[in-house]
A and B are shown apart, each in its own frame.
Chain A
Amino acid sequence: MELHEKKEQFLEEMANKIRQDIIAMLVEAKSGHSAGPLGMADIFTALYFHILNHDPKNPNWPERDRVVLSNGHICPVLYATLANAGYFPVEELMTLRKLGTRLQGHPHRTALPGLETTSGPLGSGLSEAIGIALALRLDNKKNRVYCLTSDGEHDEGNTWEAVMFAGKQGSKLNNLTAIMDRNNIQIDGFTENVMPLESIRAKYEAFNWHVLEVNGNDIAEFVAAVNEAKAIYEKPTMIIAHTIPGKGVSFMENDFTWHGKPPKPEEAKRALHELRTLEGRIKSEHE
């Protein structure tokens, strides 16, 4: 589906709202991951508010496209997006990581509507997405499967087992689009220091994938890439989405120390101020 200007503006505003929700959730939860969820807010917004064929009021609708979040630790962005899309009340976001919540610290499929898998331990999601895509194929269904992965989880052998298998299947898995959050950070530091991944594009191409690279913080560019992937018949597609970890909050951007910690109340206040004023470019309506 093409993206007109008015829709693009709506999506950008929604992504900003989702970023604010992420900050609010994390400061309330007092633990969790900040950088990844903020960096992926544009892609999640594009998926759930423009790309996906889905029905938030009927989360088990058989005709829905499937989203598999492999790097489960960025679930605050998934939860905030699902809530804003109407899967569950936005107020419930404040229960993240608390006793009795449906918003588990890492996503649990049977706990919350809208989740396709349980995830957290890295490297398994691409395989699970492959299994879902194969099942849809066996049933002659047209639904598409989107798998969100991180760059860091490409350290896992399981990921490469999946990459190899999908390449072998070729056109049988052209209903699968994988998206890598190429934000270059992981817990212990920059990916290229912890365990070099480059050239990640060449690696995927060598395994018989169609590879696209986009600015993952540019919604229009991402939507165009997803549309291109739908047109590729021969093989599955990997969209390498270059994102800025912590995007939208100046003091979190590109700083790997924000991978796995939440903002303190004072930091959250600053972060929310920046997001509400689009980093000072507009005056906040809350002020």
Chain B
Amino acid sequence: MLNKNAKLNPKLFDADLAERPTRDGYGEGLVAAGEADPNVVVLCADLTESTRSEAFAKRFPDRFFEVGVAEQNLATIASGLGVSGKIPFISSYATFSPGRNWEQIRTTISYNDSNVKVAGAHAGVSVGPDGATHQAIEDVATMRVMANMKVIVPCDATEAKKATMASAKMWGPVYLRFGRAAMPEFTTEATPFRVGKAEVFWESNGGQGKSKKPQVAIIGCGSLVHYALRAAKELEEEGIGTMVLNNHTIKPLDEDTILAAAETCGAVVTVEEHQVSGGLGGAVAEFLARTMPTPIEFIGMQGVFGESGEPKELISKYGMDVPDIKEAVKRVLKRKK
């Protein structure tokens, strides 16, 4: 059942649940962060409207910089601002930033310890019709391996706003990942959010006639957390108890919560709209291999590129839909000793 303490939207499973893209939350968070701190500045590479940087640009024109289609410049100008007392957010599509300017982010932001927040919009295959060129499915991996870089993947627009505001208040380089498509808005203002802290959104007992403990921990990030919750609800109805963690911060990983979930359940399914290697699944697997080897199934892109299509069609085609998560739970259950 839903964890009451997570204070999720009670209409979470209703068919008419409101949907918004996480990039909308970024746009709202930028304005709020800009109001809270005059040092917040925003730079964009010719994608002001679609990265939702527009509201900030209108509200604070002197603190907004249009750099044109030039992602290397986007990162490196921000680097200079970030070592000079400013808090720059750089907005583009994740395939271009941090895709095209990875080395600039590495040298001039991460290693240089410049206080820059890299915002990658249009991540995941749910970008949809634009096709594989615009669907970032490697960005968490390429940012996660970078020393001194934090990685946050908000699960809905409300959380995206909180993550944006929290990043502004936190010293140091951060990668924030957002999606294009409207996705369920299922957290609320009251839902706890702390960078580096995974939240239990769902926890059911072991099911009919079984132990009180959930049998599988589903660890997700981004919009697919809602898919994981739907899978958990259906599984509970079928007598399989699970736990669902919203693991928005991939780095630093909330090791305590993940270890506790793995100990309780003894099996894990990771869920992300990203390549299964290097992202959330990779981070969880690395950690559990070190601390408590646990069977894991990985939901995500299985080493292939996406293609054009509608967001939900693509999530289904590439095996990240509710039935896929349920099957992964059943597979991992069979692997438990």
Contact = CB atoms under 8 A, between A and B. Distances in A.
B81 A131 contact: yes
Interface in B132-162: none
B103 A131 contact: no
Interface string A132-153: 1111101100000000000000
A132 B107 contact: no
A158 B81 contact: no
A133 B81 CA distance: 8
Contacts of B85: 135, 139
A120 B106 CA distance: 12
Contacts of A162: 73, 76-77
Q: 7 closest A-B pairs (Cβ-Cβ)? A: A131-B80, A135-B84, A127-B76, A161-B73, A161-B70, A128-B80, A118-B112
Nearest to B101: A158
B79 A124 contact: yes
Contacts of A161: 67-68, 70, 72-73
A201 to B, nearest CB: 22
A121 B107 CA distance: 8
Contacts of B86: 131, 135, 138
A128 B108 contact: yes
Interface in B261-320: none
* Residue of A121, A127, A139 ringed by the most chain B CB atoms within 10 A: A127
B153 to A, nearest CB: 27
Contact of A165 (B73, B111, B112): B73
Given A124-B104, A161-B73, A132 B83 contact: yes
A35 to B, nearest CB: 23
13 contacts: A68-B80, A109-B113, A120-B107, A121-B103, A124-B104, A127-B77, A128-B76, A131-B88, A132-B83, A138-B86, A139-B85, A158-B72, A161-B68
B228 interface: no
Nearest to A66: B84
Category for how many chain A residues contact B: 20 to 34
Given A117-B83, A124-B76, 14 more contacts: A119-B107, A121-B104, A124-B72, A124-B104, A124-B108, A128-B80, A131-B77, A131-B80, A132-B83, A134-B65, A134-B77, A135-B80, A139-B85, A161-B72
Contacts of A129: 80
B79 A138 contact: no
B213 interface: no
A189 interface: no
Contacts of A132: 80-81, 83-84
B84 A131 contact: yes
Nearest to B43: A131
Contacts of A139: 85
A59 interface: no
A164 interface: yes
Contacts of A136: 84
A28 B94 CA distance: 44
B107 A138 contact: no
Nearest to B88: A131
Instruction: Give the residue among B68, B80, B113 with the most A Cβ atoms within 10 A.
Output: B80
Main secondary structure on chain B at its contact with chain A? helix
A133 B325 CA distance: 51
Contacts, number: 98
Centre residue among A119, A131, A132 by max chain B CB count within 10 A: A131
Given A121-B103, A132-B83, A133-B80, A127 B72 contact: yes
A129 B76 CA distance: 9
B104 to A, nearest CB: 6
B114 to A, nearest CB: 8
Interface string B22-60: 000000000000000000010000000000000000000
A68 B107 CA distance: 14
Interface in A249-272: none
Contact of B63 (A110, A117, A127, A138): A138
A138 B77 CA distance: 14
B146 to A, nearest CB: 14
A132 B86 CA distance: 9
A273 to B, nearest CB: 38
Interface in B108-125: 108, 111-113
A135 B80 CA distance: 8
Given A109-B112, A124-B108, A127-B72, A134 B81 contact: yes
Given A121-B107, A138-B63, A165 B80 contact: no
Interface in A166-188: none
A116 interface: yes
Interface in B173-190: none
Contacts of A127: 72-73, 76-77, 79-80
Interface string A220-240: 000000000000000000000
B115 to A, nearest CB: 11
A116 B84 CA distance: 9
A89 interface: no
